[in-house]
Amino acid sequence: MNIPQPGILLPVPNQARYLSFSLGDPSLIRQGLHMLRELVDGEYTVVGLGQTLVSALDATIPGLKSFPMITAPGLAIENAPEVLWIWLRGEERGEILLRSQRLARALAPAFQLKEIWDAFKYAEGRDLSGYEDGTENPTGDEATSAAIVGTGNQTLAGSSFVATQRWLHNFDSLTSMSENEQDNCIGRRLADNEEMDDAPESAHVKRTAQESFTPEAFVLRRSMPWAEGNNGGLMFVAFGATFYAFEAQLQRMVGADDGIVDAIFKFTQPVSGAYFWCPALKNGKLDLTPLAR
């Protein structure tokens, strides 16, 4: 029986690293994937395969595609490499660094490491803006239903799709706002995380209320803050049984539905995005058999 990669459903760790790979030697791709199966446990190392890699194998994963082109005034989202994505989870930054080096060495030259972003848990699960992240996350069976492909799909059962975005915060803009202005951007009070009934329609909470879509648009968020030098933001990570919920929320955020743009863009913007398919595990190893169909 196939099971999801356990790290998808577990709470976010204290430390993390996100690795993005491009294609290297095309003749060694399958050898590289075999090595990946041996190194990945799905709990401390979660893996996603992108459309570029699947296409290079002349394979098809139903539902997998490239990150969509999002058009909105002042918004420019670059496509991150959509070949191989690895989320390293752990408690010690040094251990994660060494594991990252071992993976990069083992996967070369089939795959070439292109991007590294370190992330961390902040203030018991808050974004660097100070607001709690993932308050409306589904839990228990609802989390599994939202994030994992069900048994009705015999080919992909137990796998997941993940949308990733790197958001860059403008801390000068954020700190220039009063706390009330910040609360109105988010739709929750910083002081107690309570949702504000009188928040404006542009508030982030109202733009992304998952139950307000038809059909409902639930995702399982596993986002974490990132920092490099004096810059920082959020590594947005949303797992779903499909990409529908993520796309529905993003389209509403940019005002595609009603012309109302999410107020969160006043202090942060996504600068890159990518889509991946996260294979299930079978007997403790990544189940890559869908790639052979």
| DSSP string over 51-94 | HHHHHHTT---TT--PPPP--BTTB--EEPP-SEEEEEEES-HH
C-alpha distance from residue 218 to each of 63, 156, 199, 221, 222 (Å): 17, 19, 22, 9, 13
**Residue 241 and residue 7: Cα distance in Å, rounded?**
15
Place of tokens 């490239």: 66
Query: Strands 78-79, 268-278: parallel, antiparallel or unpaired by DSSP?
Result: parallel
**CATH code of the domain covering residue 105:** 3.30.70.3420
SS3 228: strand
**Residue 85 and residue 22: Cα distance in Å, rounded?**
9
Amino acid type, 79: N
* Burial label, 94 (beta-carbon count in 10 A; 0-12, 13-18, 19+): exposed
Asked whether the beta carbons of 46 and 86 are under 8 A apart, the reply is: yes
Q: 208 is written with which tokens?
A: 């992304």
Place of tokens 């002349």: 58
Reported as type and span, the H/E element at residue 145 is helix 140-147
145 falls within a domain: yes
Query: Strands 160-169, 45-49: parallel, antiparallel or unpaired by DSSP?
Result: unpaired
143 falls within a domain: yes
Residue of 133, 183, 262, 287 marked active site: 133
244 falls within a domain: yes
Length of the chain: 293
Counted domains in the chain: 1
288 falls within a domain: no
Asked whether the beta carbons of 219 and 240 are under 8 A apart, the reply is: yes
pLDDT in tens, the chain (293 residues): 899 999 999 999 999 999 999 999 999 999 999 999 999 999 999 999 999 999 999 999 999 999 988 766 667 777 888 999 999 999 999 999 999 999 999 999 999 999 999 999 999 999 999 999 999 999 999 999 999 999 999 999 999 999 999 999 999 999 999 999 999 999 999 999 999 999 999 999 999 999 999 999 999 999 999 999 999 999 999 999 999 999 999 999 999 889 999 999 999 999 999 999 999 999 999 999 999 86
136 falls within a domain: yes
* Residue 118 appears among annotated catalytic residues: no
135 falls within a domain: yes
Query: Strands 78-79, 160-169: parallel, antiparallel or unpaired by DSSP?
Result: unpaired
What angle do helix axes 93-107 and 29-39 make, rounded to 10 degrees? 150
Amino acid type, 29: I
Reported as type and span, the H/E element at residue 175 is helix 171-176
pLDDT of residue 73: 63
- Residue 213 sits in which domain range? 6-281
Q: Does residue 109 have a cis peptide bond before it, meaning omega lies within 30 degrees of 0?
A: yes
pLDDT of residue 145: 98
Amino acid type, 164: T
**Residue 35 and residue 66: Cα distance in Å, rounded?**
25
**Residue 10 and residue 136: Cα distance in Å, rounded?**
16
Q: 232 is written with which tokens?
A: 């920082």
pLDDT of residue 216: 96
**Residue 238 and residue 271: Cα distance in Å, rounded?**
16
